[in-house]
Structure 1
Amino acid sequence: MSNSSEIPSFVLAAYGNVGELKYLYFSMILPWYLSICVANTLVIAIIYVDKGLHEPMYILLCNLCVNEIGASTTLYPLLLSQMLSESHEVSLPWCFVQMFCLYTSVSIEFCSLAAMAYDRYMSICYPLHYHTVMSTGRVFMIILFVWVYSVLNFVLLFSFILGLKFCGNIIDKVFCDHQLMIQLACSVSVINHVSDILFILLTLWIPFAFILASYLKILVVCFNTSKENKQKAITTCLPQIVSVSNLFVGCIFHFVDSRIEAAQVPDKVRVLLSVYLIVCQPMITPFMYGFNLPKVKTSFQRFVFHKK
């Protein structure tokens, strides 16, 4: 029986045989990746340069943009190299590294959005206590907690697959996937399935419940306030609601694709659904959160076009 150390690499079979189209796909994917990096870096630079944006909401936004760049860099360079490759093989250590970065970034994304929801909750529901509760030191402690919590989530998940023995090395995706690796194991214990459920609970459902609770409380307060304050609250919260909704839908696509046999779904559609989260979310953050916010938009015009 083969063990994990005897399988030096995994084959990412979802690339298939695209033939000469690989150059077309490469020329489409590379500009998209560069656009993600440029857009998110620009938001970070604007927030860093403009001292007026050194507020909790924008600091948390900056953290979110850093995560978008990191998550995209984990996927796209390998995806681009695999697109031009004939073998589509990925070494076992790199597979674990990619999983660590991708899964941790998803957890950071959800937890960061939960932190931003809490920030909006304090700002709208308790404006008099806002600057006391959401001090700069407190915000950086929240960001540190988000990253540590997310890393520990994956360490917990990783501990259950580290000693698995694999009887196959074909992963039907364009990136290394935890659940598909479990399916390649020679034998899987109940604890592996429990760890998967636990990871989903810690990564998705707990942050999502926190986000939902925050916005429900904001909604209650908005019903009992002036029309002007309602409009302001909606304008502030709408980008977050859009981002959370997109993130949740992307996660559903990923988890369903990894766990349900979708024989009736064309392979190309399945590939698109599996990478939907990493393709769309990194662009939603800078444009829905960043350039859509009035203060950031004004600062962007000064920063890029030197407008007063």
Structure 2
Amino acid sequence: MDQNVVTASISCVLVHYLYQITCTSREKMNLHNGSIQITEFVIGGFEKVERQMEIGFVMLVVYLLIIVANTLNIVFIILDKKLHKPMYLLICNLAVVDILISSSSCPTMIGVLLAGANTISYAACLIQMFSFQVAEAMEMFALAVMALDRLIAISFPLRYHSILTNARTIAITYFLWVAACAFVTLMPVLLIPIPYCFNRLRYSFCDYPAIIRTSCHDPKHFFNLATIVWYFLLFFTFGFICISYACIISVVLRSSKNESRKVLGTCLSHLIVVVCYYLPLFMRIVFTRIGLVLTLEEQQGLTIGAILGPSLVNPFVYCLRTKEIKNKLFGIFKKVKPI
């Protein structure tokens, strides 16, 4: 299908839902009389959770590990000119995304659990939501472009450095950040003008579903619009990754056993990261489709695991399975002499 036709179709669907939202808003103007002026939100996702201090402490430790591990990967790649190559630039970008996705959600949850700071200002809540959703979209884009990197490296090994240069890698990454921001901008655009009837969030931090449920409107059309955008990103990126690995497998089948092992070894790190990120997402979709009803606490646990799990696994996978980064790390420990 022509790309212009696909883009036009998506635009028509988005316009249709925007029109429905507008019509619904006009039909329910009587609800606006019950709206309130929101200056801050109350985070109520942990109110029924037992052992909040223990959970908060564990989250704090995991969050610090995420920040330290990803920062070390970034520092190693920036300071070592030998690592200024497309693959390592993409690893560096993934580390930045992991820091953003955890930092836009974990501090709020840790503050609620450890300090009882369960309020957040309206502006800060919208900023947190925007940052988190951008990071989510960018995680998908980052994994997709890393699959492209592996495909080019395996299919065109002799032309790899001429096809995917550092400049092109940076340009692609910059474009993907802009695209992620463009997709996510739709959410605050929909949220800012609507009236709110509640200031209590059902979930553990500021994300789109939590905020939209506090509005005076029927959230159905808002959820449908966000679902269209999000499913498009999810299945487009995952589909691209699957196609990339189908091409890689075709190359592997034509190679010798030794070459096949080497090829699969270069892809294993990326495959681990892809599974860690997409598996929780598809689990939530499957649970929803089969009608499995999860309690609020179970939903919270699955969401928190989907945030912390990949962000913690990614830096350690690339640190321990990437020879250059692993040697750099072990070299630092060897230089540290015991007193």
Q: Given the two structures, how large is their TM-score scaled by the length of structure 1? A: 0.89
Matched, 1:271 2:275: no
Partner-residue secondary structure (3-state), 1:128: coil
Partner-residue secondary structure (3-state), 1:139: helix
In 1, the alpha carbon distance for the partners of 2:257 and 2:332 equals 33
2:160 maps to 130
**1:11 touches 1:87 (CA, 8 Å); kept in 2?**
no
Matched, 1:97 2:138: no
Q: Decide which structure has the larger Cα Rg and report it.
A: 2
1:247-293 CA-to-partner distances (Å, cap 9, x unmatched) read 11233456678999865x34433221111121111111111122222
1:296 to partner: Cα distance: 1.8
Matched, 1:192 2:219: no
Matched, 1:180 2:207: no
In 2, the alpha carbon distance for the partners of 1:190 and 1:138 equals 41
**2:132 touches 2:207 (CA, 8 Å); kept in 1?**
no
**1:10 touches 1:92 (CA, 8 Å); kept in 2?**
yes
1:234 maps to 264
In structure 2, the CA distance between the partners of 1:101 and 1:195, relative to structure 1 (3 Å rule), is same
Partner-residue secondary structure (3-state), 1:6: coil
**Unaligned residue ranges in structure 1 (runs of 5+):** none
1:223 to partner: Cα distance: 0.6
Matched ranges for 1:84-233 at <5 A: 84-86=114-116, 88-188=118-218, 192-233=222-263
1:230 to partner: Cα distance: 1.0
In 2, the alpha carbon distance for the partners of 1:190 and 1:18 equals 28
1:300 maps to 329
**2:36 touches 2:198 (CA, 8 Å); kept in 1?**
no
Q: 231-240 or 252-261: which moved more?
A: 252-261
In structure 2, the CA distance between the partners of 1:269 and 1:217, relative to structure 1 (3 Å rule), is same
Over aligned residues, Cα RMSD in angstroms?
A: 2.6
In 1, the alpha carbon distance for the partners of 2:308 and 2:33 equals 35
Q: Given the two structures, how large is their TM-score scaled by the length of structure 2? A: 0.81
**Unaligned residue ranges in structure 2 (runs of 5+):** 1-31
Letter in 2 for 1:174: S
**1:12 touches 1:174 (CA, 8 Å); kept in 2?**
yes
Q: 3-12 or 127-136: which moved more?
A: 3-12
Matched, 1:12 2:9: no
Aligned-residue sequence identity (percent) comes to 28
